[in-house]
Amino acid sequence: MLSFPKAFLALGLLSVANLAQAAIIELNADHFSVTYETDQLGPYAQGIVSDSQDTVYFNSNSFKATAPGAQGVASVLLRLTLTIDPGYTFAGLSFTERGNYYLYGDGAVNVETVVTLADLATPDSAVLNLATGSSLDVIQQLTLWELGGVLGPVGPDAPQTLMITLDSTLFSSASAGLAFIQNTYAGFQVMTEPAAVPEPSSWALLLAGILAALLVGRRKVHTPSWHAAVSGSVKA
């Protein structure tokens, strides 16, 4: 039986382990940043920002489904918070995932992926549905596969904070033989544009409007005192 000091120490170590497991990671790229909780990565390794500074991607060597004479299913659900830097607007998201597969005998493999992009300030969202269909049919050869598509922009306004949700599932089945499929990469390329800056003519109109409003305000302030002066002289 654990003594009280040892029991408290064990609970403390467990709490620290849980906090470390659910740490929040922030990846900073050009014009945007991505944050996520590490405990939802599943088979993916920590995220990486590409050398081009426009893509955040995740690698894996354990996201796989294998079916030697049976069925195999593997899935991952990943949520990322995308924040656009001040001075820029969100223009779209290009998603790519890839991996490889192997078939021997009577078998089949497939991939089904849903990417959802949601504006956190409004109900606006966009959904990308991806599936390989029946094209993964090369036998007795390790073969590459790739899926991808483009999402956004989302809604009539330019959101600055969005939620990206990746829901990807691998399927393999083989009544006889072997079916193997693996997802090794998932990448999110974020497209941004410089925020619109008013043209000089727009600034001139704005300043003219402000000046006119100030002049009207000054006239309103002085008019009552002038009327009061006139009224006083008449009464006298």
Residue showing tokens 């008013």 = 198
- pLDDT tier for residue 236 given thresholds of 50, 70 and 90: very low
Structural tokens at position 133: 């269909």
Strand partners, 186: 58, 97
What is the CA angle 161-166-171, rounded to 5? 175
Mean pLDDT of 115-133: 93
- pLDDT tier for residue 68 given thresholds of 50, 70 and 90: confident
Per-residue pLDDT of 165-193, as tens digits, reads: 999 999 999 988 899 999 999 999 999 99
pTM > 0.85: no
Q: Measuring CA to CA, how many Å separate 93 from each of 38, 40, 154, 195?
A: 22, 21, 10, 17
Query: H/E element holding 150?
Result: strand 143-151
Distance, in Å, from the CA atom of 158 to the CA atom of 156, rounded to the nearest integer, reads 7
pLDDT at 198 over 80: no
Mean pLDDT of 48-57: 98
Mean pLDDT of 116-140: 91
Least confident stretch, 11-20, 46-55, 115-124: 11-20
Per-residue pLDDT of 138-154, as tens digits, reads: 999 999 999 999 998 89
pLDDT at 15 over 50: no
List alpha helices for 49-182, DSSP H.
none
Distance, in Å, from the CA atom of 54 to the CA atom of 94, rounded to the nearest integer, reads 10
Local structure of 123: helix, strand or coil: coil
Percent of the chain residues past pLDDT 70, beyond the cut: 74
Residues 6+ apart with CB under 8 A from 16: none
Closest listed residue to residue 164, CA positions, set 62, 20, 33, 22: 33
pLDDT at 201 over 70: no
Domain spans in the chain, listed from the N-terminal domain onward: 15-194, 199-226
How far is Cα of residue 143 from the mean position of the Cα atoms in its chain? 29
CATH of span 15-194? 2.60.120
Cis before 153 (ω within 30)? yes
The end-to-end CA distance of the chain, in Å, is 104
